[in-house]
Each structure stands twice: as structure tokens, then as C-alpha cells.
Structure 1
Amino acid sequence: MTKILLLGLGRWGANHLRNLNALPIELYVAERDAKLLDPARKLGLPEARLTTNYKDFLSKVDGAVVVTPAQTHFPLCKEFLEAGKDVFVEKPITLTSKEAKELTELAEKNKRILQVGHIFRFDPASQWLKNAIRSGQFGRVQMLRSNFSGFKRPRNDSGMMFADAIHFVDLFNYFLGKTPKRVHAILQDFLGRGDKDDACFLSLEYETDKGLTWATIETNYFLPGKYREVSVMGSELSALCDLNAPKDKIKTFANKHVKEGNEFKAVEGASQVIETKAEEPLKAELQAFIDSIQTRKAPLADGWAGYESVRILEAAQESAKTGRTVTLP
């Protein structure tokens, strides 16, 4: 049976614990704060598989799931990869593209699985949108728009852009099968924390074989409610997707702009609710990690996907500082 070590039982780590415990694996848990190990005990994990020092289990497991503060991702992942272990690490893979590249190359050198927690790739709604875009159902994708906002406690290990906007940076790369050529960003620090943005707006320009696709990402900690929305606007079809919805997340619209003489007419077409299976994306991506360990198949969200997202956000940071659009190589 595959042996997995979960590192970190904070807010998101608790969700990893619940899902990993439901998978056919032998689960070990490490959490520096001994009190946070209580949920693992309540699930029935034996004391022999719980620790406050992850090194106790380093030699016993096949892989690690790293759900710790972003600043710790690089040294922890490097240690596990060098020890010959497969690694799942929550996003962002690291806080710099240099470190992300080093980890990814290390994983390749050691023939290890390195999967990054870009969870939206594993949502059935995202899968449908990606397949529809790639198969041409939308025609030319003119715009992608997203909103990841809601009133909640700000994270302490990174700003809003690295914590939440990164979700849609990766998802749009996944949809289009490429990375943007130009990035423009506006970052705000309304709470006055100094080095951590709490609201951001990203503008990404992708060059595709059908022309320009403009993508925008809005995130903040202030908007009442909880928004996880993505829109796809194409020349033949458009779609609204609520990733918060338990089912029927996507509604499509066969709307078109039709030119008549020197003017355009807005023609509203039929709308349709797309049925997708109800599946918890976190459970799906963790199951995919276990499958990759057992089959040695490359993960859907590998180290290079994590690297590209961080590289784009570094360009966004430069843009926010200079007020200029940054062109990516």
C-alpha cells in the first residue's frame, strides 16, 4: 500500500487530511503544533503515524503532501525530492520562479513525481471548458474573465495575488495551452501590511493561432460573499461558470456579433445548462497524485505548470511597481 506523509494541518491541511484519509493509502501526519494533530486522532489514525517532526517518517513513506506556509515549500520539497520521494505541494510551488525551476529540474533528474496543487484543473467544469475551448466550440476565444473574491481572513505567508489570483493564472494557461505574452497588474495594500497585497487586478494577453485572447483576474479580501467565477467569451459561444456551485456550474450562450453593412448587430442565441458530474476537486487531485506515484505517469499539474504561474506573477509584481505592461520572454 502506498505510504503518504501529510505535512501541515492548518485550515487547508485539514481538508487534505479528510480527503487523504478516505483514499486507499497508509497515511502519516506531521504537524509542528501538537494540538493540531487532534483531528487526525479523531479520524482514528494511530499515534505511531503522528508526529511533530516530519523527519521521523522521511524514510518510511513513498511520497509527501506539503500543505505548509509558502516560504517553506522550497526547502521541504527539495529535501523530499533529494531523498527520492514523490511530492505534492500546494500552490504556489515556491515564491520565486528560480526556486520553482530548481525543484522541477531536480524532480526530473531524480525521476520523481512533482505535482502542484492547482486545484481548479481538476474541477469537472474546468475540464469541460478546456475541452470545449480546445475543440473550437467557442470559436475564437476573445476574452477570459475571472473573479476570486470574498470577505475572509488574509493569509500571512503571501499576498492575495500569490494566494488566490494564481488559481486563475494557471487555469487560463491550462485552457489555452500556453502562457501570456504580456502582463499588466494593479496591486493594493488597503490593510497596510506593507509587503502583502490584499486586492489585485491582472490583465493577461495571450497570442493564439486565432488571434489575441485577453484575460482578466480580479481578487480581493473585501467583497461580501464568496466568488469563484470564470467566464469565457468566444466568437461562436460564451459561457458563465460558478465554481462554487455544487452542480450545473456552467451555462452557455450562443451569442454572436453579426456585421451588417458598417454596423454590428448583437444576436442573442440559445442558452444551455451544462451538466457535469459532482466531484470534489481536492479529492480528485489527491487521487491523481496517488495514481501518478503508482503508474509513474506525469501529473496534470506538474512542476513546470507551477513554475510558469510563478514566473507570470513575478512579471505582474514588476508591472505593479513600474505601472507598465511587462512583456514575457
Structure 2
Amino acid sequence: MIKIAVIGAGAWGINHVKTFYKLGALGAVVEPDEALQRKLKNEYPNIPTYSNMDHVLTDKSIKGVVIATPVNTHFVLAKKALEAGKDVLVEKPFTLSSSEGEKLVKVAEKRNLILMVGHLLLYQPAIQFIKNYIKRGKLGEVKSIHQQRTKLGKVRSFENVLWSFAVHDIAVILYLFEKHPQVITSKSQSILQEDIADDVYLHLGFSNNLSVNMHISWYYPEDIRKMIIVGREGMLVYNEHDQSVILHRKTVSDDLENIDKGKKVLFIGDSNPLKLECNHFLSCISNRSNPLSDGQNGVEVIQLLEKTHQEIRQQNNRFRLLGN
């Protein structure tokens, strides 16, 4: 059985620990926090727990490494693991810059290693269903997408809400439509910390007049994770919480009359996407196959985040000039 080491057993990393353990693939855990170490040793007494990566990098029984640490450490840790000959899964956001991501891709390619990014939503069966549904032309030409990812969430001091939350939705958009936006505009508000956006409205304009509008916030009263896809022949509503995909048979005729033929539940998901993602990583290691969310996919998402971040900074500078 392939053995995986999980680097970082914090709020999200512990889920990787639990999942790979249940899959019988957990080989080691690296966690510098002493309190977490004690907890890990109590819960997983047969699994080696270390305070740094040194043992993992030299352990030939460990074939793959999961990096689930703060994003500002991703590049250094992933590079070390790749240079030690380990296949690597890096949690999102992949890196803090596309140049760092590109360097990791080159290292992996040079050494023929697997480099995967934890774009979890791509492994949701509901997203797979939606992609196939659109591809078969069931909605007609897709005209607009409205995405909302809001809640009172974990506020970061070194990344804004866009980097923390919007990675999921950007990864999904690039996957569903396999194209890049030609227009990027945004409006943001830094409520809690200067120059750290807490609330962002993002617009992406694609070819064929496809418009994507996102609202991303970690300072919001309701936990909403929803995507609405408006096509010429109907509308899909995807609710991430219950993994439901509902078709609204609504459209407007050529003579501008409303048509409403009711709604229908097309899909209800009941799978564990993290388990599917972890199994995919193991399969890629075993078969030496390219992951669905590979390093290049990670770079493309980061490039779009960079462009959006730059647009936000320019907008903030314009506001400061107006204030003066």
C-alpha cells in the first residue's frame, strides 16, 4: 500500500490525516505544535509523528506528501518534498505567486513526479454532473453564472478573502468552461484590516458574452455556498451544502414572454469529496497519471487571483486619491 505523510494537522490538515488513515495509507504526520502532537499520538499511536519534515524526506516507504500548512509555507515545503523525490499534493491556495507555482511545476516535470493541488470542488460528483450536463447542451448556450461564497469565516492576516475563499470558485469556472476571462473587474471592502479585503464582488467576462459574477466574504451573517448557471434553455442552481443540482425550467421566448415549466431535482450528492480527492492522489501515484487538478491547473488559478488582486489594489489607490 502506498504511504502518505501529511504535513500540518491543523484545522484542515487533520481531515487529511483522518482520511488517509481510514484509507490505510497514512504513513506519518508532521506537526510542530506540541499540544497537537500529543493529541495525534493518543489518537494514532501506531503512526509516527514528527515536528519537522526531515524523517519524512529520507523515509523511502513514504511515497507521497500532503502539504496542509499555511499558504506562505507551501512553496518551500513542496519544493523540499519534490527535491527529495516525493509526489506532492499541495492544499489550496497552491502558492502565493504564479512564479512560485511555475517553479514547482518545473521541478515536478524534471523529476517525473506527481504534483497535485487541493481544488476540492473539482472532485465533487455534483460538479462533474454539471460539467457533463452543460457539455451535452442541456442548458443551451450558457449566458451567465452567479456564485456566492459567504459566511463569518476565518480571517487571515497574510491573504485576503479572495485568496482564501475564491480559489474554489475560480477553479470550478476554469474547469467547467476550459477558457480564461478576457475582462476582470472587482469591488472590495477592507473592513477589519487595512489592505486586506474582507468582502469582494468579482466580475469575469468571457468570450461569447459569458458573464461570471461572484460575491466572496468572510464577514457575513449567512453561510451561503451557491452557484446559479443561466442558460438559454433553463437555469441550474447548485447548493454546495447539500450537493443538490436543481433545474429551473425557466426562460424567455423570442417575443419576450416568460416561460416557466417548474423545477426538477437533477442530482443529490452523498459522496465525501476529500475521500475522492485523496483516492485520486493515490491512484495518480500508483498509475503515474496526471491529476485532474495538477500543478498547471494550480498556476492558472493563481494567475487569475493575481490579476484580480492587482485590480483591487488599483481600485483602492483610486479611492485614496479621491479621498485626498
TM-score normalized by the length of structure 2: 0.93
- Segments ≥4 residues shifted beyond 4 Å: none
- Taking a change above 3 Å as real, the CA distance of residues 90 and 157 of structure 1, as seen in their structure-2 partners, is farther
Residue 231 of structure 1, aligned match among 225, 228, 231: 228
Q: Which residue in 1 is equivalent to 2:15?
A: 15
Task: Give the letter aligned to residue 44 of structure 1.
Answer: Y
Counterpart Cα distance in 1 of 2:39 and 2:149 = 29
Partners of 1:73 and 1:89 within 8 A in 2: yes
Q: How many residues align?
A: 314
Q: Which residue in 2 is equivalent to 1:327?
A: none
Residues 148-167 of structure 1: pairs in structure 2 closer than 5 A: 148-167=149-168
Please, which moves more after superposition, 151-160 or 302-311? 151-160
Partners of 2:199 and 2:218 within 8 A in 1: yes
Partners of 1:17 and 1:40 within 8 A in 2: no
Q: Which residue in 2 is equivalent to 1:308?
A: 300
Q: Percent identity?
A: 29
CA distances 1:63-93 after superposition (whole Å, capped 9, x unpaired)? 1000001011111111111111100000111
Gaps of 5+ in 2: 317-324
What's the offset of the Cα at 1:176?
0.4
Gaps of 5+ in 1: 325-329
Residues 1-329 of structure 1: pairs in structure 2 closer than 5 A: 1-46=1-46, 49-60=48-59, 61-191=62-192, 193-207=193-207, 211-245=208-242, 247=243, 249-260=244-255, 264-323=256-315
Partners of 1:133 and 1:176 within 8 A in 2: no
What's the offset of the Cα at 1:138?
1.3
SS of corresponding position for 1:275: strand
What's the offset of the Cα at 1:106?
1.7
CA distances 1:206-245 after superposition (whole Å, capped 9, x unpaired)? 21xxx12111111112221311111111001211111011
TM-score normalized by the length of structure 1: 0.91
What's the offset of the Cα at 1:26?
3.9
Give the RMSD, CA atoms, in angstroms: 1.5
Task: Give the letter aligned to residue 33 of structure 2.
Answer: D
What's the offset of the Cα at 1:144?
1.0
Counterpart Cα distance in 2 of 1:215 and 1:51 = 44
Counterpart Cα distance in 2 of 1:45 and 1:16 = 17
